[in-house]
Amino acid sequence: MANVTVIGAQWGDEGKGKIVDWLASRADAVVRFQGGHNAGHTLVIDGKTYKLSLLPSGIVSGTLSVIGNGVVLDPWALRDEVAKVEGQGVSITDDNLAIADNCPLILPLHRDLDGLRETAAGKGKIGTTGRGIGPAYEDKVGRRAIRVCDLAHLDTLEPQLDRLCAHHDALRAGFGQPPVDRAALLEELREIAPFVLRFAQPVWKRLKKVRRAGAKILFEGAQGVLLDVDHGTYPFVTSSNTVSGTAASGSGLGPNSTGFVLGIVKAYTTRVGSGPFPTELEDDIGQRLGERGHEFGTVTGRKRRVGWFDAVLVRQSCAISGVTGIALTKIDVLDGLEKVAICTGYRLRGKVYDYLPSHAADQAECEPIYEEMPGWSESTAGARSYADLPANAIKYIQRIQELIECPVALVSTSPERDDTILMRDPFVD
């Protein structure tokens, strides 16, 4: 298999950035296929830290980086991110960055609506990042979105603005807000258009050419399967499909292009925002894991909730997304614990479940069933071969494989690119 698709198999924040960067150094193109700038990837290369949101992780290594049509693009956020990364010495041109010309835009009115809804929702709020992702996806499926290609035709945009503003003006009125300032919006679009159009093209054509040349393509997912709008802990999810199948529709390449599906899995569990979390730890161990793992959102800075590894959820994610193998990250965060625990099932009103029920009320009541294992006092940090790991850490990894019914392909032992144990090569297997 020449291509690899990388997805998060938990609630996001699994360490995809480091793994994607490690793989990107061997790929010929890296493609973002869903999500927006609510997703954050942190790369540490030779001691230098890069924090990316919209830019594919391959951009740092100079690999062709593609923002696919499945992404919702905030052009102003992208410009700021490009300026920041260029300030760190990374060259970004239309040779190494391509944006799908049919990619929908996140506009200021989307950010406004996101904030208004969350504020008004009270206890029912989802816990969004407030960046307009959900409203932008709504406008896409509602057929009223402004897309990248429209930036080249702003003089004929009035009919689309009529549809867009008819929808948003009614919503804004309900929140006691004035109508959209169409003149100001058009002016903002005229100002940003030259920057975005430098990179705009039919990326499906470029990727088709790359694939025909026999080159390796890396598809980079955002968030995680448990935040998928269909398969996640609804309604506490993102607004896009995060499963591996979206790599095809969100890039313009067919489903036979996605290749090896690598699920990124943290050695424990975290999530940000509201929603069920069966294995959440609100004790000293949870505090310790959060501090050692630096569990704060790359984009928002919000503190992440922390819990034991949930094999039920990861097994479910692997099945739904057709995961070929997993990359286990942050195992070094567990170093020094006397005991570690893995959730193997749930107890709900006297019944044992080997999957997470679909209804939010049932999910909230699920009680984890744990299997305890001895921890390890030795350090795993920086290990680069399986033989370097403590015996109990190896047993922990092996037990995870058994419970999730999926093999471990990689083990990451620090944020550094080279601190990676390769057990199966996704670009070869």
Catalytic residues: 13, 41
- C-alpha span between 115 and 110 (Å, rounded): 9
Give the torsion sign (CA, 164, 166, 171, 176).
Answer: positive
- C-alpha span between 10 and 239 (Å, rounded): 16
- C-alpha span between 72 and 358 (Å, rounded): 27
Buried b (16+ CB within 10 A) or exposed e, 45-64: beeeebebbbbbbbbbbebb
Joined tokens for residue 409: 């392909």
- C-alpha span between 332 and 388 (Å, rounded): 12
Instruction: Tell me the three state secondary structure of residue 261.
Output: strand
- C-alpha span between 10 and 109 (Å, rounded): 31
Q: Is 284 exposed, middle or buried (0-12, 13-18, 19+ CB in 10 A)?
A: exposed
- C-alpha span between 267 and 229 (Å, rounded): 24
CB 18 within 8 A of CB 273: no
Angle, in degrees to the nearest 10, between helices 158-174 and 108-121: 20
Q: What count of other Cβ atoms lies within 10 Å of the Cβ of residue 427?
A: 15
